[in-house]
Structure 1
């Protein structure tokens, strides 16, 4: 049986695109050597369509997060990881081929998912720690994920899947999404970025006073949807000091994330929701309670805070190297460490704190 006949998942994606673009022949970029056989690119292919509405742009669609051929995943309900990524990018006048950096970015997303097992869903976000297009003069340094406005969820012979659109966002937009929610922030800015088309030249949505106010009010009324935050510099240190070797516990955080953690504490704990900071070797969970304290359980630490403790901690969590204690939390101190932002070559390009 030929590969074309058995590519039932691929055909299902093509049928969905046929409903939008008719007989338009996209620019397609396949993979010569499969990732499973040592190839560099995890996705089997990426198609780029020319769209003219609402403005001229490239519409990229991936092939490879879902099951394109035979059914292999145990979960019968979903095809593969249950999604394919799309990406809409402003198309320059007379641009006949899509830019290579966008293809590389999508393949990088494939490496992230295939290597980590983490999947993307509408409402997610990802900090790129630098321009999403390397060496570009752009403020877009992170990515948000939402539903593609033209491609609905489909059923394939290998299970259902949805089209998740990737959107380039600025650093302050990322923080607003963390402290409020991604989809609310994107919806507030839909007039500025119709169809969530990425434009490397645009300024932050939060420069618009109405959008900034919507984000502020959203956080105050609804709190934050971010229940889990990965913190690269998170650590829990146990030290002994004094004549009686009394234990002292230190929570270490990076300066880059201190400010957003401060806001998340207010957006979660004050709304009676927990916040989990997840590091490489430790998870620290903050919970609302009348009594302030902490509980240590192997690789998980639980900190309980009341309103007064949240207020004090959020004031002291600033992006500056320091160490401090809370009035009501005995035996625990907080240490803010410098954060060094590095480029792909490992060189430090920015220091925070």
Structure 2
């Protein structure tokens, strides 16, 4: 997951994210997407990696925290203080991850950078074309909660948390409005503790 070797970039932040994820997905082939033209030229993220779990694909972003040398004046927090994760149902015959989560996480990161307000845990962000390309999917919204597995880390650039995005249907969004996002996600976690998004379940 590291940037190509042989350059002179200080990759302290990038490598810290990689190490945190690798504790839970060791020796797993990485499918990495680089967003063009790149973080310093307007992309909301530098990249996103997908790794195969037993029954799901795990995605993690690179770019909402300080990936290289420390740049901000806030010593205790790296960038926005978190990277985004997502777990998506994997079919037994799949040998590569679905592409739509890369786009969905990039869109969510764009909201973080340019949205009308700050993103918080428990928020719900509507993306009508969330699972575009998945036949029959009724997922419309991403809810945000703390990743249930990948713990926060302290890096040379400051603290980094991992916030998981979970796909919701309109019915689940209405239920969250009547109670809370946490209530809906806690109910889902009874049978789905990793909060794996399944675009076909709607």
Asked if Structure 1 and Structure 2 have the same fold, meaning a TM-score greater than 0.5 normalized by the shorter chain, the answer is yes
Following superposition, the deviation at residue 139 of structure 1 comes to 2.0
- Structure 1 CA distance, aligned partners of 2:179 and 2:199? 24
**Kept in 2: contact 1:127–1:143 (CA 8 A):** yes
Following superposition, the deviation at residue 132 of structure 1 comes to 1.5
1:65 aligns with 2:38: no
**Kept in 1: contact 2:13–2:65 (CA 8 A):** yes
Say which SS state the counterpart of residue 189 (structure 1) adopts: helix
| Per-residue Cα deviation, 1:76-131 (whole angstroms, up to 9, x for no partner) | 22110010000100111221111121111111112222223744332111122x24
Aligned counterpart in structure 1 of residue 46 of structure 2, from 44, 47, 64: 44
**Kept in 2: contact 1:48–1:60 (CA 8 A):** yes
**Kept in 1: contact 2:29–2:52 (CA 8 A):** no
Query: Which residue is 2:4 aligned to?
Result: none
1:186 aligns with 2:185: yes
Q: 1:93 to 1:152 in 2, by over 3 A?
A: same
- The gaps in structure 1 that reach 5 residues or longer are 204-353
1:106 aligns with 2:110: no
Q: TM-score scaled to structure 1, two decimals?
A: 0.52
CA root-mean-square deviation: 1.9
Runs of 4+ aligned structure 1 residues displaced above 6 Å come to none
Q: TM-score scaled to structure 2, two decimals?
A: 0.88
Q: 1:119 to 1:12 in 2, by over 3 A?
A: farther
Query: Which residue is 1:339 aligned to?
Result: none
- Structure 2 CA distance, aligned partners of 1:65 and 1:14? 14
Following superposition, the deviation at residue 73 of structure 1 comes to 2.2
- Count, aligned residues: 195
Say which SS state the counterpart of residue 197 (structure 1) adopts: coil
- Structure 2 CA distance, aligned partners of 1:32 and 1:126? 23
Say which SS state the counterpart of residue 104 (structure 1) adopts: helix
Following superposition, the deviation at residue 192 of structure 1 comes to 3.6
Query: Which residue is 2:130 aligned to?
Result: 132
Structure having the larger proportion of residues in helix = 1
- Structure 2 CA distance, aligned partners of 1:119 and 1:157? 24
**Kept in 2: contact 1:81–1:119 (CA 8 A):** no
- The gaps in structure 2 that reach 5 residues or longer are 1-6
